Amino acid sequence: MILRIIYIIGLLFFLSPFGGAGRGFAQTLEVELPYCSGREYSLCLLQGTGQDTIAMGLLDDKGKAIISFPLNYRGVGRLTIEQCGHMRNIILNGEKRITLSEADSLEAKTIFTHSPENSFLIEAMAKQNRILKDYYRLANGQTEQFMIFASPEQRMKAVENEYKAFRGEISGSPLYAARVLEILNLLTGVGSSFIISEQQMLEEQRGFIVNKVNFNDLYTCGFWSQTLEAWVQMTSQNDTLLLTNTRHMLDRCGGDIPIRRELTQTIIRLFSKYAKDNLLAELGTEYLTMPLNGQLAPEIVVSDGTSFIPKSSLIVFYETGCGNCHYELENLKAKYSLLSNKHNGLRIISIAADIGKEVHEETSAKLPWVDKFCDFKGFDGDNFRNYGIVGTPTYILTDKEGIVRGRYAQLKELIKD
């Protein structure tokens, strides 16, 4: 437990210098960073495994800028100042005017005004850090500053009660910042009590992910992948529990199709990463329909009514307008000659989830390979359904017999630079 406490002390990266859809702009972020004057900035919204850049520009000669972002966005935005070593993760949640200012250096204290969300997170993390330090000192016999209490036991009990009350405040807060802190505590192993065993901690963490965390909040906080991978790691020794948890989590997404798709896609990737592909078939068609590694790839349906089995192929499923898809298509274009040469001999096939013909043709015309398909039915098209595609971009690799040999979210998972 003490090691976990020490780790949280360094967790203040979330708002530290080096921490990590439709537009309808109506909120503003006013930035004042005098030591970054004239530098380029970008503001990205963190979403699942990727991010959506919504604003770019230059700070003026006083380091100021006014940046707009969507009114109804609830999540974390990442402000990056190029050539300045500056990155800030900022909570955006319906606050119409947020101001962020710092004095004259990267080490200066970040000051938020007009933002209860960001102020709450900074103050809550500072308070938690102080309580954890107090407990650490007492656990190591450093009692000088706690002489107001009559005995070591009383001193320890007072700190434990303060921590319990603090956790109650966080749990009861309606702020998005409180949800972010709960997720951070999960990832760093900070439990609900100082007196908790390793097994109890695991059960508490798993229960939080499976039963409590709001997947919409998780999707926009920047810790989507880390949280779900932590769940797979702590559950991977029990296949029955892993399947039960998976079904329950997907059920909790209900009719939220985008979040359910993202969760399903992440589960597919993580099961493959931890050699649990065999469990995917056991989820059943209610949750998942997809060709597994080692199975024959479904025929690709062409608009003229014909179909073919993709042999020695790399299939990329994408959607025009998807930032991550654009990035992956550019990577694939750059690697096209390497992948399709005599040595590798892969047939590149792209299948789009586009609805509009003009939008699709504009993107498709820039792709150098021959096989470019789209039935303009989105994710409900035959190819997307047959391959169980629940998120884009997705790569499917097949061998010379048409057997599926890999499923990837990024080209770099297949091609190691």
Q: Is the pTM of this model over 0.75?
A: no
| Separation CA 57–CA 67 (nearest Å) | 9
CATH class of residue range 300-413:
alpha beta
Q: Which residues contact 147 (CB under 8 A, 6 or more apart)?
A: none
Neighbours of 156 (CB within 10 A): 19
At residue 407, what is the residue type?
Answer: R
pLDDT at 143 over 70: no
Q: Which residues contact 308 (CB under 8 A, 6 or more apart)?
A: 299, 300, 302
pLDDT at 3 over 80: no
* pLDDT single digits (tens) 338-354: 998 866 789 999 999 99
Q: Which pLDDT value is given to residue 11?
A: 40
Higher pLDDT, 154 or 152: 154
| Separation CA 315–CA 406 (nearest Å) | 10
Boundaries of every domain in the chain: 18-106, 300-413
* Helix or strand run (H / E) with residue 47: strand 40-47
pLDDT at 6 over 70: no
Q: Which pLDDT value is given to residue 148?
A: 58
Higher pLDDT, 262 or 142: 262
136, 161, 317, 409, 413 from 268: Cα distances, Å = 40, 42, 15, 10, 14
* pLDDT single digits (tens) 83-92: 787 888 999 9
* pLDDT single digits (tens) 328-338: 999 999 999 99
DSSP-H helix ranges across 188-276: 198-207, 215-219, 224-235, 239-253, 257-273
* pLDDT single digits (tens) 18-76: 333 344 567 899 999 988 899 999 999 998 877 888 899 999 999 999 998 877 789 99
As a whole number, the mean pLDDT across the chain is 85
Percent of the chain whose predicted confidence (pLDDT) is above 70 = 89
DSSP, res 60: -
User: Domain 18-106 sits in which CATH superfamily?
Assistant: Transthyretin/hydroxyisourate hydrolase domain (2.60.40.180)
Strand 371-373 versus strand 394-398 pairing type: unpaired
Peptide bond connecting 310 to the previous residue in cis, omega within 30 degrees of 0: no
* pLDDT single digits (tens) 215-266: 999 999 999 999 999 999 999 999 999 999 999 999 999 878 778 878 987 8
Higher pLDDT, 385 or 251: 251
Token look-up 């709001």 returns 214
- Contact between residue 364 and residue 376 where contact means Cβ atoms under 8 Å apart: no
Higher pLDDT, 193 or 1: 193
